[in-house]
Structure 1
């Protein structure tokens, strides 16, 4: 199995590429709220992945030392997703709610695409 940091580095490159496309879409189209929602959701999705990688490192160190492990940070990732929804509901003129939710799911789509690419290469 690949190291989680190598996978995080690959996923981060994909997400930054998507964010660049979203910024171009925000700047050059009339759908600014849609692209701003995608930017917000995707940025929080990348943050959630970073938190998960950090918690995974902590989990590994705790298991090696034989200590008890609390959690992998599900509550903090859910809270950040809730924050995205609250921001979208507070500023509906700037952020499109559905596109922000799609942005939150972006990392899972990137993971599935990366897995399919790696699976069919072998």
Structure 2
């Protein structure tokens, strides 16, 4: 399963880069509630990404040992998204709700971008041969 861990390592770098960009935006612009919402959503999205990777590894190990397979943690991920929205609704002066929702989607965008970059690199390597 090193492939999943390699992908997660790349995606973690992208997520941390985005988070640092959002922190700079929060610190140096007048759109602090928007960037704070992006930070909150992205942090919980990053947690969800880590959670799904961990669950996938546990899923693989359970299949190899021929044990019963548990869920992939959908309810945990939904609960963290609901938590982010509840926080944004409770403190609208600090968190912009639409930014929180966009932040929750960043891990999916990062996964798609990583997929396209890796398939581009693989295609380029095949053409070189």
TM superposition score normalised by structure 1 = 0.96
Asked if 1:106 corresponds to 2:92, the answer is no
RMSD: 1.2
Going from structure 1 to structure 2, the CA distance change for 1:64 and 1:2 (only over 3 Å counts) comes to: closer
Distance in 1, matches of 2:99 and 2:29, equals 15
| TM-superposed deviation, 1:54 | 1.0
Distance in 2, matches of 1:85 and 1:35, equals 15
Ranges of 4+ aligned residues in structure 1 off by more than 3 Å: none
Distance in 2, matches of 1:26 and 1:68, equals 46
Distance in 1, matches of 2:2 and 2:25, equals 34
Unaligned runs of 5+ in 1: none
Bigger mean CA deviation after superposition, 30-39 or 50-59: 50-59
Unaligned runs of 5+ in 2: 124-129
Which has the higher Rg, Structure 1 or Structure 2? Answer: 2
2:22 alignment counterpart: 22
| Aligned residue pair count | 122
1:115 alignment counterpart: 115
| TM-superposed deviation, 1:70 | 1.7
Distance in 1, matches of 2:62 and 2:120, equals 35
| TM-superposed deviation, 1:113 | 1.0
Distance in 2, matches of 1:50 and 1:2, equals 15
